[in-house]
């Protein structure tokens, strides 16, 4: 199919409440949405990067620059025979995986629509609903945290992820473990620990955590491997895995037992499938992470999480955990009895865009015809 036209939107969608993690404070979801037109169909993709380079180096401004000056010109008016060609076509640009992922996902959406299959079936997924959990924003006190976690558990979420730092990890995780002895509980450090915290990690080993996510530096694999060899709790990598090669290196170095796979962070769906298959061979567990995406990005994440190895609960929550109003017509809802979310069953990403909401949250829009 020929890539006839690409529309790019910059959106800001207000969150229900401020999302705080170590170093990141955001009160609205900023993102770029792409629409790709081909053969009478439209494919959608989302670049969920933040306004500031505090999670990875990309920002809305860098993604806009890379998309408009390099990536979109590489793709426009090209004839594409399979969605796997996109990573190759975009490969002259190094890095900038989130910018690339928006185009990659939109082309996968187009091909799934053309084949009249929901994306999960088109990529070889094996389940129609995904087990999910909540990533809880940092709270101002342990009392507030226990209250917030209780409300999520009451809603039906069976896995809770706390944002942790050397200051709060023991008190927060212990408080939740005491209230919920059997809850699937984990901590995400966003790189604020160091190997000097080894004594603390050994104390955390007693809390029966599902995993600790990204404790050490965002660009480190070696020290994660040294840490993993000294503690029982499985380590999970997030920020350190940005490519197929990163995952090969992490497996070779034994830097983690688990990978939090965000399709946007690794450049889209083709690389996600490659990493999935590498992890299957390497004995690494997988789950689907999130970037607080709009309904478009979260729909893609749901489809991805249908792949066989995505067996641990995903960071994909219901619409009402993030937004009062979203840009898709369908609300994403939690099945409270088993902490799952149904994967959309219509062709492609399987959700309809609410054009009024898209317009409402759009700050600017551009079209490219080649
Ligand atoms: O580290 O996984 C993270 C959100 C923004 C940036 C980084 C992270 C997160 C989350 C939220 O933990 C996951 C979600 O609900 O989308
Ligand atoms: Mg993380």
Residue-wise pLDDT for 262-300, tens only, equals: 999 999 999 999 999 999 999 999 999 999 999 999 999
- The pairing of beta strand 340-342 with beta strand 129-131: antiparallel
How many alpha carbons fall within 13 Å on the CB side of residue 305?
A: 30
Q: What is the pLDDT of residues 195-233, one digit of tens each?
A: 999 999 999 999 999 999 999 999 999 999 999 999 999
d(CA 176, CA 119) in angstroms, rounded, equals 37
d(CA 69, CA 116) in angstroms, rounded, equals 33
Q: Rounded mean pLDDT of 126-131?
A: 98
Enter the ipTM: 0.99
Residue 29's DSSP bridge partners are 13
Describe the chain by its helix, strand, coil percentages, rounded to 5: 35, 25, 40
Q: What pLDDT was estimated at residue 144?
A: 96
**Domain match, 80 and 204 both:** no
**Domain match, 184 and 316 both:** yes
Structural domain includes residue 222:
yes
**Domain match, 268 and 363 both:** no
Burial zone of 34 (CB within 10 Å; 0-12 exposed, 13-18 middle, 19+ buried):
buried
Q: What pLDDT was estimated at residue 108?
A: 98
41 has a pLDDT exceeding 80? yes
**Domain match, 203 and 104 both:** no
305 has a pLDDT exceeding 80? yes
Residue 69: Cβ within 10 Å count? 10
Residue 10's DSSP bridge partners are 32, 364
Q: Rounded mean pLDDT of 322-327?
A: 96
| Secondary structure of residue 262 in the 3-state scheme | coil
Structural domain includes residue 80:
yes
Q: What pLDDT was estimated at residue 195?
A: 98
List the one residue out of 142, 182, 154 whose CA is nearest residue 162: 142
Structural domain includes residue 275:
yes
Give how many domains the chain has, as a whole number: 2
Q: What pLDDT was estimated at residue 23?
A: 84
Question: Mutate which of 189, 265, 291 to test ligand 1's pocket (most atoms within 8 Å of Cβ)?
Answer: 291
Q: What is the pLDDT of residues 137-156, one digit of tens each?
A: 999 999 999 999 999 999 99
Sequential DSSP letters for 123-143: TT---SEEEB-EEEPP-SSHH
Structural domain includes residue 348:
no
Average per-residue pLDDT for the chain: 97
**Domain match, 165 and 307 both:** yes
**Domain match, 110 and 183 both:** no
E strand spans, the chain: 5-21, 24-38, 41-47, 129-131, 134-136, 159-163, 184-188, 212-213, 235-237, 258-261, 285-288, 340-342, 362-368
Structural domain includes residue 255:
yes
Q: Rounded mean pLDDT of 219-248?
A: 98
Residue 188, ligand 1, Cβ within 6 A: yes
Q: What pLDDT was estimated at residue 169?
A: 97
**Domain match, 105 and 152 both:** no
Residue 46, ligand 1, Cβ within 6 A: no
Residue 278: Cβ within 10 Å count? 17
Ligand 1 atom at shortest distance from the alpha carbon of 134: 15
**Domain match, 308 and 225 both:** yes
Q: Rounded mean pLDDT of 358-369?
A: 98
Adjacency order of strands within the sheet including 362-368:
41-47, 24-38, 5-21, 362-368
Q: What is the pLDDT of residues 45-76, one digit of tens each?
A: 999 999 999 999 999 999 999 999 999 999 99
370 has a pLDDT exceeding 90? no
91 has a pLDDT exceeding 80? yes
Q: What pLDDT was estimated at residue 341?
A: 98
**Domain match, 93 and 240 both:** no
CATH of the domain at 37: 3.30.390.10
CATH of the domain at 141: 3.20.20.120
The pLDDT > 90 percentage for the chain reads: 98
Q: What pLDDT was estimated at residue 22?
A: 87
Ligand 1 atom at shortest distance from the alpha carbon of 214: 1
253 has a pLDDT exceeding 80? yes
Q: What pLDDT was estimated at residue 14?
A: 97
CA of 290 to the centre of ligand 2 (A): 8
Q: What pLDDT was estimated at residue 150?
A: 98
**Domain match, 293 and 322 both:** yes
Quick check: 31 and 104 in contact, CB under 8 A?
no
Q: What pLDDT was estimated at residue 79?
A: 97
Structural domain includes residue 361:
yes
Structural domain includes residue 349:
no
For residue 235, give both structure tokens: 């380590």
Quick check: 45 and 34 in contact, CB under 8 A?
yes
Backbone angles phi and psi of 47, in degrees to 5: -105, 105
Residue 52: Cβ within 10 Å count? 14
- In whole angstroms, how large is the CA radius of gyration of the chain? 20
| 64: containing domain | 5-116+354-368
For residue 5, give both structure tokens: 């036209």
d(CA 119, CA 317) in angstroms, rounded, equals 19
Q: Rounded mean pLDDT of 175-193?
A: 97
CA of 215 to the centre of ligand 1 (A): 14
**Domain match, 305 and 338 both:** yes
CA of 199 to the centre of ligand 1 (A): 26
306 has a pLDDT exceeding 80? yes
**Domain match, 75 and 153 both:** no
């Amino acid at each position: 199919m020929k890539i006839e036209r690409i529309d790019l939107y910059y959106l800001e969608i207000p969150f229900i409440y401020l999302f705080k993690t170590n170093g990141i404070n955001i009160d609205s979801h900023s993102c770029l949405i792409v629409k790709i037109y081909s053969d009478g169909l439209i494919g959608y993709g989302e670049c969920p990067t933040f306004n500031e380079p505090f999670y990875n180096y990309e920002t809305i401004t860098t993604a806009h620059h890379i998309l408009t000056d390099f990536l979109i010109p590489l793709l426009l008016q090209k004839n594409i025979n399979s969605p796997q060609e996109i990573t190759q076509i975009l490969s002259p640009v190094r890095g900038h995986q989130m910018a690339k992922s928006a185009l990659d996902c939109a082309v996968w959406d187009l091909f799934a629509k053309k084949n009249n299959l929901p994306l999960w079936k088109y990529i070889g997924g094996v389940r129609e609903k995904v087990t999910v959990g909540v990533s809880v924003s940092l709270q101002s006190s342990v009392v507030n945290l226990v209250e917030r976690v209780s409300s999520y558990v009451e809603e039906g979420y069976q896995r809770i992820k706390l944002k942790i730092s050397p200051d709060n990890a023991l008190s927060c995780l212990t408080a939740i473990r005491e209230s919920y002895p059997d809850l699937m509980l984990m901590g995400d450090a966003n790189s604020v620990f160091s190997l000097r915290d080894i004594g603390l990690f050994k104390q955390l080993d007693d809390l029966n955590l599902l995993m600790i996510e990204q404790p050490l530096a965002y660009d480190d694999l070696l020290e994660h491997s040294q840490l993993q060899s000294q503690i029982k709790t499985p380590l999970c990598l997030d920020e350190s895995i940005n490519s197929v090669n990163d995952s090969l290196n992490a497996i070779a170095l034994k830097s983690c037992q688990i990978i939090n796979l965000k399709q946007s962070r690794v450049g889209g769906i083709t690389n996600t499938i490659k990493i999935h298959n590498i992890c299957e061979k390497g004995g690494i567990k997988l789950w689907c992470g999130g970037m607080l995406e709009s309904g478009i990005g979260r729909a893609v994440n749901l489809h991805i999480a249908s792949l066989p190895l995505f067996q641990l609960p995903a960071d994909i929550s219901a619409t009402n955990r993030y937004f009062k109003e979203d840009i898709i017509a369908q609300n994403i809802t939690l099945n409270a009895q088993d902490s799952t979310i149904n994967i959309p069953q219509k062709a492609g990403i399987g959700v309809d865009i609410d054009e009024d909401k898209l317009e409402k949250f759009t700050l600017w829009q551009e079209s490219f015809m080649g």
